[in-house]
Amino acid sequence: MDYLEFMFAGFAVFWAGLFVYLLMLQMRIRSLQQEVERLEERLAEQEAGDRRTTEARPVAGGRPAAPATRQSPAPRT
Amino acid sequence: MTAGLASLAARAYGLRWRVLPPLTGVAMLAMLIGAVLAAPREVIEGEVQRLMYIHVPSATIGMYGSIGVVFVASAMVLWKRDMRWDAVARGAATVGVLFTALTLLTGAIWGRPVWGVYWAWDARLTSTLVLFLIYCGYLLIRQIADPHDEQTARYAAVFAMIGALDIPLINMSVRWWNTLHPQPIVVRPLGDEALPTEMLIVLLVGTVAISLLVAWLIVLRTETELAAQRIHGLRAGVDRREAS
């Protein structure tokens, strides 16, 4: 009464379970990394937009350096 | 004194990625060699009894230990109202579900040649299956509902704590009812026949290996959940900035 095949099946199931769990965890980490990259891109776009707006603002009573993105006139100082 | 201990714990936690993975790998290898080659062959059950070296630590450390962590972390969610504890609870719950499944599967494979059946609706097996279903439900709730909502986290914490009450029932089931599952073999009343020393040593190696594995997996999963929480907060900030 040895049932070697059952022993191997038990060990195989144990290691396969661990492997599948680690694989799922790896997929989760990869999806989080992709989310971070998307956020970084969106932040870079926003910062670029902010920079354009700042450059378009009038400097101490002068006219705007670049065409203003806003419709309303620039405030007078 | 407390500050010193806290600093020591923080330094030890800082070494987790350097220490835990290699140590776990070595311990798991030692467990495998011990279980398959070093441990003596059991006279009655034969080779299949070697499954004990993964089945017992999976149940005692993997299942009980992880669900214990879920219980403590859930209590902290309710007490401190800190979502970081929710990340610990969710991380430990996935590890708990994994080891409950592994315990059920290795138990069924071991049970087939020894009992003649893979499954029996006896108290130990059924209460373990109930625990598995409870925590699958917990993870499903966390997946369906907003995982970053604090109120959902509090309801889930109550659910998890009630679910953890199944652990004492599982532990005592073999004493309270007649079951196919054998009585405890390591902790026994004095005078009862205990496990031979060679087997006990291999079982101890297995327990250490599974303890390290569980600790590593819980830390890994918790940090993943914490990263997800931070990303969720950042995404909300970027959305708000875009909308304004």
Whether residue A66 is predicted with pLDDT greater than 60 in this model: the reply is no
Distance between CA atoms of residues B106 and B128, nearest Å: 13
Q: What is the DSSP string of B64-99?
A: IIHHHHHHHHHHHHHHH--HHHHHHHHHHHHHHHHH
Domain ranges of chain A: 13-38
**Mean of pLDDT over chain A:** 79
Q: What is the pLDDT of residues B27-47, one digit of tens each?
A: 999 999 999 999 998 888 889
Distance between CA atoms of residues B194 and B188, nearest Å: 7
Give the chain B residue nearest A11 (alpha carbons). B51
Domain ranges of chain B: 44-183+198-226
**Beta-carbon contacts of residue B132 (< 8 Å; ≥ 6 apart):** B97, B100, B101, B104
Average pLDDT rounded to a whole number, residues B165-192? 81
Give the chain B residue nearest A14 (alpha carbons). B102
Whether residue B156 is predicted with pLDDT greater than 50 in this model: the reply is yes
Per the model's pLDDT, the better-predicted residue between B189 and B180 turns out to be: B180
pLDDT value, residue B157:
96
Whether residue B179 is predicted with pLDDT greater than 70 in this model: the reply is yes
> Which pLDDT band holds residue B53 (cuts at 50, 70, 90)?
very high
Whether residue B15 is predicted with pLDDT greater than 80 in this model: the reply is no
Q: Which of A6, A27, A42, A53 to mutate to test the interface with B (most CBs of B within 10 A)?
A: A6
pLDDT value, residue B45:
87
Q: Is B110 on the interface with A (CB under 8 A)?
A: yes
Q: Could you give the ipTM of this predicted complex?
A: 0.89
pLDDT value, residue A77:
38
> Which pLDDT band holds residue A74 (cuts at 50, 70, 90)?
very low
Inter-chain residue contact A25 with B32, CB threshold 8 Å:
no
B55 chain-A contacts, CB cut-off 8 A: 10
Q: What is the pLDDT of residues A19-55, one digit of tens each?
A: 999 999 999 999 999 999 999 998 888 888 888 888 8
Inter-chain residue contact B113 with A13, CB threshold 8 Å:
no
Q: What is the DSSP string of B95-141?
A: HHHHHHHHHHHHHHHHHHHHHS-S----HHHHHHHHHHHHHHHHHHH
**Mean of pLDDT over chain B:** 91
Whether residue B60 is predicted with pLDDT greater than 90 in this model: the reply is yes
Per the model's pLDDT, the better-predicted residue between B4 and A26 turns out to be: A26
Please report the sign of the dihedral spanned by the C-alpha atoms of residue B205, residue B206, residue B207, residue B209.
Answer: positive
Instruction: Collapse the DSSP code of B18 into the 3-class scheme (helix H, G, I; strand E, B; otherwise coil) and give the result.
Output: helix
Q: Which of B99, B102, B240 to mutate to test the interface with A (most CBs of A within 10 A)?
A: B102
Inter-chain residue contact A32 with B238, CB threshold 8 Å:
no
pLDDT value, residue B33:
95
A4-13, B3-12, B231-240: lowest mean pLDDT where? B3-12
Q: Which of B10, B166, B121, B31 has the alpha carbon at shortest distance from A14?
A: B31
Average pLDDT rounded to a whole number, residues B216-238? 92
Give the chain A residue nearest B42 (alpha carbons). A2
pLDDT value, residue B107:
95
Inter-chain residue contact A32 with B105, CB threshold 8 Å:
no
pLDDT value, residue A70:
45
- Scan for tokens 């969710």, then name that residue: B90
Whether residue A72 is predicted with pLDDT greater than 50 in this model: the reply is no
pLDDT value, residue B46:
87
Whether residue A2 is predicted with pLDDT greater than 90 in this model: the reply is no
Whether residue B5 is predicted with pLDDT greater than 50 in this model: the reply is yes
% of chain B exceeding 70 in pLDDT: 96
